[in-house]
Structure 1
Amino acid sequence: MNNILKNKKLIRKNSTIKIFVFIFFQSIITYSQSSFIKGYTHDSEDKPIDYFNAIILLSGDSSLVKAGAFINGEFLFDNLDNNKYILKLSSVSFETKYINFKIENNTNLDLGKLKVNSIKLNEVEIIAKKPVFKVENGNMIVNVKGTSIAEAGTLNDALKECPGITVDNSNNISIFGKGKPIIFINGKEIQSKEELEVLQSDNIKSIEINRNPSAEYAASTHAVIKIETIKLTKDILNISINNNTSINRKGGNNTGIDINNKKGKWTNFFSYKYAIFSTLDFKESNYKQTFNTTINQTENKDTILNYSNSNKLFFGSDYQINKKNVLGIQYSGVYNKNNGLDLTNKKIENTSNNILNFRNKRNNDDNNNLNNIDFNYRLNADSISSLNINLDYAIKEYRSIIKVNEKNLDNNYNLNTKTNNFNKYNIYTTLIEYNTKFYETDSKFGIKYSGINNSGNTNTENTDNNVISYNSTNLINENIFASFLKLNKSFGNLSIETGLRFEYFQAISKLTQNELPENQDLKQSGLFPSLMLSYTDSNDNNVSFSYSRHITRPSFGEISSYIIYFDSLNYSTGNPFLKPTLYNSFELSLSLLKNMYFALDYSHITNEIDLITINDENNINIKKTTFINIENTEEISALISYNYSKKFWLIDVSCGISKYFLNDKNIPLINRNPNWYFDIKNDFNITKKIILTANFSYSSKGYSGISKMDEEYYFSPRISCKFFKNKLIVGLSWQDIFKTRILNYESIYSNIKTTEKSDYDGFHMLRLSIKYNFNDFRPSFKQNAINEEELNRL
């Protein structure tokens, strides 16, 4: 009897092992119980059909088996049983095509190239406008190709015209109610915001906005933007040159060349951009310090002149080993140099009517360099299974020299200081992702490791007597290990997506300030789940609900000892004791009538990081600008977008509102008025070659975190023209043509009230852009990078 029981246990054990082995390997080999059919549609000029419908019918009774909408000419249907079928291909302006085929012995079928003839229209010119956006599984997808957004200029310019996306004068991108997104181009994460300037808007097919991403993405990801470019399908060499000239109080120029090549198994891409730019900004700030018996008030009036030049280089190459395997390498380099001059008139007054007047001069010389290399491998095992492996290494260096001359106008006393800052980062990143389909469930599994080594030092010297007044060094080593699993299954019109991410974080920091050491060893681990329910009816109306948990770790600048002295009474620095920020986010979205989108969001935030001004710990007359954690924050936001199009005109209207609730002992408990914004975009097709765009934006008074923002509004027109069979594109745009946009805010923390009014040169800009495409330039190279999250924290 014992032997029988042992044999049964052994049989069960062996069966379990066999089941796990089968589950692991079943997605690498071709299914033996079902088959697939695929093909490629093209027109008479061998160009892919951009958008078409494909339907599979049973040959006997013409009953529907499968159907779908496809782009870029390619289509694929899997899990087909042995039978006779009819394939129906249809697209606007093309003749419908029918093809009979047969699946037998569970074999796969590749129909190859299928030519679809166009319908000829004599002496009729049609100017069609695509819908600006559609919604799939709760994500907004903005069409770019064939719309005026394609004529915007750079990718940043295209993003400015998407509902709910804002791009500030420093090209920082944010999504309304969500903050900074992670950006992907053709499924690959970009490495820095400078990379966005490589891509031109007319090379973009679509932009997808995910406002509540799943556990597939890093736990610090609050929003995702996915960009799909127009792809090459045949061997070709093409070149594009472009130039943008900007005129404001100062001005600048940006010149670039892109070379794209596809030859046999090789796909190569090269891009180089050189930019020079200067700005003249004006800023007024006021700091009011309240003590028990006195009030100190400081008024600053700044005139800021900045000059910058940058070189951006990108090269990448993919080698198609065979139909299933692709090996790639890419390099990117960004080299920025900035020189600045800040002239400040300062007035300090207290309740005893004691007044001090200063005139300060501050020069800064900054160098910021980034080099990044990526190795990647892609395996498409079959129609439903794929493996991606990425290895990244990046090195970033930042150096600055800040010289300050401070003159007391009351006694002619001069103080001269010089501050040297240096930071160097080494970033190592590895990502492995595996996609498959198991029991009709789309599955994705991945693991990621990232390591960051940072070394830096800061010293401040009184150049009048050559005395070092401050010295610090910092060494920080970070390691993050992560793994995730995402599952997606459809039940008729209902789609369910669930995910779980695990992250382990370790940071060891050694900080020395004026020979006083401060060491930290931080270890954290956590689970970050996500859930999405999406229902789409037969009219493409969609309703979606999603939940996700995220974490944002402090950036290196936020925790660094790096010091910027404005004068002897004002400086900024990081806070090495910041805690990570935890988010629990919920979103309900609704899409109706193919042209209306609505989203409602709620987030509970613990230890949100914000920038404040406080008294220096050693001298209350000195003000320190630094970062702090806000104990508890709640945010509610809503977004609605609507578009309407006629033959020659398209209008897109979007409106959003957000309200904050803060709970922190150092922040006044007041009613924080909501902040709302309104955007309206008009596109007019004057002729087939000329497009006029007129955009108006407004944001109201209201609170964003601890800051109370004043209202902003501005109007920006643009016109673009095409010549020489669309090879030459000339555009003229004027951002904030009436110069009404001024940044004005106030914040209160502890005993200091801060107000600031800034007129940035970058807000008001006239720009002439010229682009010429040789041989119908299209970007076919997929940029790979997996370290954007790490680089953004630098």
Structure 2
Amino acid sequence: MEKLLYIMLIWVVSTTSIYSQTVAGKIVDESNQPIEFANIVCLSLPDSTFIYGTISDQDGKFTIPENSSKGILRISSVGYATTYKECKDRNIGTILLHSDTQLLGEVVVKGNLPVTRMKGDALVTSVQNSVLAKAGSANDVLGKVPGILKDKDSFEVFGKGTPLIYINGREVRDKSELEQLSSEDIKHVELITNPGARYDATVNAVVRIQTIRRTGDGFGFNLNSSYYQSENVDLVEQADVNYRHNGLDMFAMFRYDKMEFRERTNVHQTLISKKQLDLENQLKYNDNKQWLRGNIGMNYMFDENNSIGIKYSIQGSPRYDSKLYTTSKVSLDGKVFDRLQNFTSSETDNELNHQLNAYYTGRVGNLEIDFNADYYQSGYLQEDITGEESEEQEDRDVHAASDVANNLAAAKLVLSYPVWKGKFSVGGEWTYTHRKDNYLNVENYVPSSNSKMNEMNITAFAEYSRSISIGDFILGARYEQIKFDY
């Protein structure tokens, strides 16, 4: 058992960070007007690895620590063409961004660009009625939000690392939710870089996505089909249906994904020293995956301030297998030293994953109530076979199996009330996690193992926040009790 109690005082001041030695610049548009909230990312050369990121202020100005500026700058802002500039001097000068007249298939004008503004402790970017509504999915939207860097399917907040992501107050525990959420259903995105006591101490940044509450009675249908042709065929098929009447909104979704991956590689390496060593490698890799996803649920609005809802999601993979073939020939001074052949086959039987969420958001007088509860269950059985053949060494086969099961239950309640021109919030959170791992190696090259893990976390917190002339004042306290059994 572990108990943790800490008090946190945060004073957020709206000033630019100051470093002993910095590289500075300014971002303007074609009318020489400053561009606020542009993303400035410093990339290393030649591999374009992310080094540092920041955003421009209301005057279009930005600074980067000199020790993080060795490389090239990538400057981007929605509605403008991305620009690259090499870092040579401490004063980069003025960088001009040209308007992108065609963006996401839409004609770009000032009126349909997303608006980003500070609201309390959050940087809020509008999506509804802007070109971002045509971005595609929530993944695509987050990749264009100021202060966030997208790298494939992961996100990083400048200076804070990986954020915790919420949709309508519910924590996203399955990343596929972001791909399934259409950008047209997003109202705005909030980025919090100084989370208060309501979040765990390990959380350095939070992204909150707020969706649009649709109006109008009757049935609605939406069918999407995507076909990708390369050496193989990939498919994404999705069907959505919903029914709305007065405050009731019922919905269901079904999605099928078929993905194949092929890789062929031939590599010849020569190492010349006292003797010449030649390595010839051939690789063939095939990966086949199919996913079935679905959900059903309902929301009900009692009035403008009170609503409840429940959502059940299920997903599984009826087929997931991969095969890897490698052939190697080793020659020393032109004479064959050894020929090696390796074969690896992996088949995964995914159990159906289940997720259930229920929520209530409301207001009683001036008291705000936010409640969420989640249950999540997943598991899989993976069997691997590896064969190794050598002309000079001993042949061997390796059989391994992994059986994994996960269960999670969580609930969170937050009560907020206006106090002294600010807001006072109290709440609690409960989380229970169970995981079972069984590993078996028939030949015992790797010892077989069995493990179980149980963890329960009970949290209580209180927080007071108030906006003042120079920034935001936040005072919070958080208590955690953790029980861990392995």
- TM norm structure 1: 0.42
CA distance in 1, matches of 2:458, 2:338: 54
Where do 1:630-645 residues align within 5 Å? none
Counterpart among 140, 144, 156 of residue 123 in structure 2:
140
Does the alignment pair 1:199 with 2:181?
A: yes
CA deviation after TM superposition for structure 1 residue 298, in Å? 10
Judged with a 3 Å threshold, the aligned counterparts in structure 2 of structure 1 residues 356 and 131 are, in CA distance, closer, same or farther, namely same
Structure 1 residue runs without a partner (length 5+)? 1-124, 286-296, 510-794
**Paired position in structure 1 for 2:62:** none
Judged with a 3 Å threshold, the aligned counterparts in structure 2 of structure 1 residues 323 and 212 are, in CA distance, closer, same or farther, namely closer
Counterpart among 310, 324, 328 of residue 309 in structure 2:
328
Counterpart among 443, 451, 463 of residue 474 in structure 1:
451
Higher gyration radius (CA): 1
CA deviation after TM superposition for structure 1 residue 459, in Å? 0.6
**Do 1:481 and 1:503's aligned partners in 2 also have CA atoms closer than 8 Å?**
yes
Does the alignment pair 1:450 with 2:431?
A: yes
**Paired position in structure 1 for 2:94:** none
Structure 2 residue runs without a partner (length 5+)? 1-106, 268-277
Does the alignment pair 1:407 with 2:389?
A: yes
CA distance in 1, matches of 2:331, 2:124: 54
2:359 partner amino acid: N
CA distance in 2, matches of 1:211, 1:432: 22
Does the alignment pair 1:217 with 2:199?
A: yes
**Do 1:198 and 1:271's aligned partners in 2 also have CA atoms closer than 8 Å?**
no
Does the alignment pair 1:375 with 2:358?
A: yes
Secondary structure in 2 aligned to 1:195? helix
**Paired position in structure 2 for 1:265:** 247
**Paired position in structure 1 for 2:481:** 504
**Do 1:397 and 1:424's aligned partners in 2 also have CA atoms closer than 8 Å?**
yes
CA deviation after TM superposition for structure 1 residue 435, in Å? 1.3
CA distance in 2, matches of 1:165, 1:129: 23
Judged with a 3 Å threshold, the aligned counterparts in structure 2 of structure 1 residues 277 and 166 are, in CA distance, closer, same or farther, namely farther
Q: Which string of whole-angstrom CA distances, capped at 9 and with x for unpartnered residues, describes residues 42-94 of structure 1?
A: xxxxxxxxxxxxxxxxxxxxxxxxxxxxxxxxxxxxxxxxxxxxxxxxxxxxx
CA deviation after TM superposition for structure 1 residue 458, in Å? 0.7
Secondary structure in 2 aligned to 1:233? coil
1:439 partner amino acid: W
CA distance in 2, matches of 1:183, 1:200: 16
CA deviation after TM superposition for structure 1 residue 496, in Å? 1.7
CA distance in 1, matches of 2:171, 2:301: 21
**Do 1:427 and 1:450's aligned partners in 2 also have CA atoms closer than 8 Å?**
yes
User: What is the count of residue pairs matched by the alignment?
Assistant: 367
What's the RMSD between the two structures over aligned residues? 3.4
CA distance in 2, matches of 1:201, 1:126: 17
Judged with a 3 Å threshold, the aligned counterparts in structure 2 of structure 1 residues 218 and 344 are, in CA distance, closer, same or farther, namely farther
CA distance in 2, matches of 1:490, 1:146: 28
CA distance in 2, matches of 1:480, 1:348: 55
2:144 partner amino acid: E
**Paired position in structure 2 for 1:366:** 348
CA distance in 2, matches of 1:478, 1:348: 50
Secondary structure in 2 aligned to 1:232? coil
**Do 1:459 and 1:468's aligned partners in 2 also have CA atoms closer than 8 Å?**
no
Secondary structure in 1 aligned to 2:179? helix
**Paired position in structure 2 for 1:420:** 401
1:335 partner amino acid: G
CA deviation after TM superposition for structure 1 residue 356, in Å? 5.2
**Paired position in structure 2 for 1:622:** none
Judged with a 3 Å threshold, the aligned counterparts in structure 2 of structure 1 residues 248 and 217 are, in CA distance, closer, same or farther, namely farther
Judged with a 3 Å threshold, the aligned counterparts in structure 2 of structure 1 residues 492 and 413 are, in CA distance, closer, same or farther, namely closer
Percent of aligned positions that are identical? 21
**Do 1:133 and 1:140's aligned partners in 2 also have CA atoms closer than 8 Å?**
no
CA deviation after TM superposition for structure 1 residue 487, in Å? 1.4
CA deviation after TM superposition for structure 1 residue 400, in Å? 0.5
Counterpart among 289, 298, 317 of residue 308 in structure 1:
289
**Do 1:330 and 1:373's aligned partners in 2 also have CA atoms closer than 8 Å?**
yes
CA distance in 1, matches of 2:397, 2:346: 14
CA deviation after TM superposition for structure 1 residue 412, in Å? 7.4
CA deviation after TM superposition for structure 1 residue 419, in Å? 0.8
CA deviation after TM superposition for structure 1 residue 193, in Å? 0.5
CA distance in 1, matches of 2:289, 2:110: 42
**Paired position in structure 2 for 1:487:** 464
CA distance in 1, matches of 2:154, 2:232: 21
CA deviation after TM superposition for structure 1 residue 442, in Å? 0.6
